[in-house]
């Protein structure tokens, strides 16, 4: 399931991330503000915890202690702030309009419901 696989990669990539530095530019690359995204779009505000807020890099989520991870760390086709959770997290652990989703290894993260 694509929406849950990014969570594992996001958590694992956090330890080795470059702090959100931009990749080198290429003449034929899209403009810096043009993103292909399966989930998370410029202007998305997220819920009361910050889950679902648009992010292009980890630093875009730094203002939220509740959702400090950017999903693009693990899946460059998603751009939203998130946080880890567990399969036994109580309902509402991810806030409004978000769910805790887990992969086959039981590694879990909060995902906006519209992405599922």
Tens digit of pLDDT for each residue in 100-114?
Answer: 998 888 888 999 999
Q: Is residue 16 part of a domain?
A: no
State pTM to two decimals: 0.71
Residue 80 corresponds to which tokens in the numbers above?
Answer: 């939203």
> What is the domain extent for residue 111?
2-11+36-115
- 33 band by pLDDT with thresholds 50, 70 and 90: low
Does residue 32 or residue 106 have the better pLDDT? Answer: 106
The two beta strands, 108-112 and 98-102, are: antiparallel
Domains contained in the chain, number:
1
Q: Is residue 23 part of a domain?
A: no
Question: What is the rounded distance in angstroms from the CA atom of residue 95 to the CA atom of residue 44?
Answer: 15
Q: What is the pLDDT of residues 55-65, one digit of tens each?
A: 999 999 998 89
């Amino acid at each position: 399931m694509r929406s849950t696989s990014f969570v594992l990669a996001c958590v694992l990539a956090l330890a080795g991330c470059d702090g959100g530095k931009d990749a080198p530019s290429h003449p034929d690359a899209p403009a810096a503000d043009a993103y292909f995204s399966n989930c998370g779009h410029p202007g998305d505000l997220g819920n009361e915890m910050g889950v679902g807020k648009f992010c292009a890099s980890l630093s875009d989520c730094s203002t939220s202690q509740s959702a400090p991870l950017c999903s693009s760390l693990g899946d460059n086709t998603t751009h939203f702030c998130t946080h880890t959770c567990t399969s036994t997290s109580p309902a509402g652990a991810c806030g409004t309009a978000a769910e805790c989703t887990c992969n086959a290894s039981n590694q879990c993260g909060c995902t906006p419901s519209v992405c599922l």
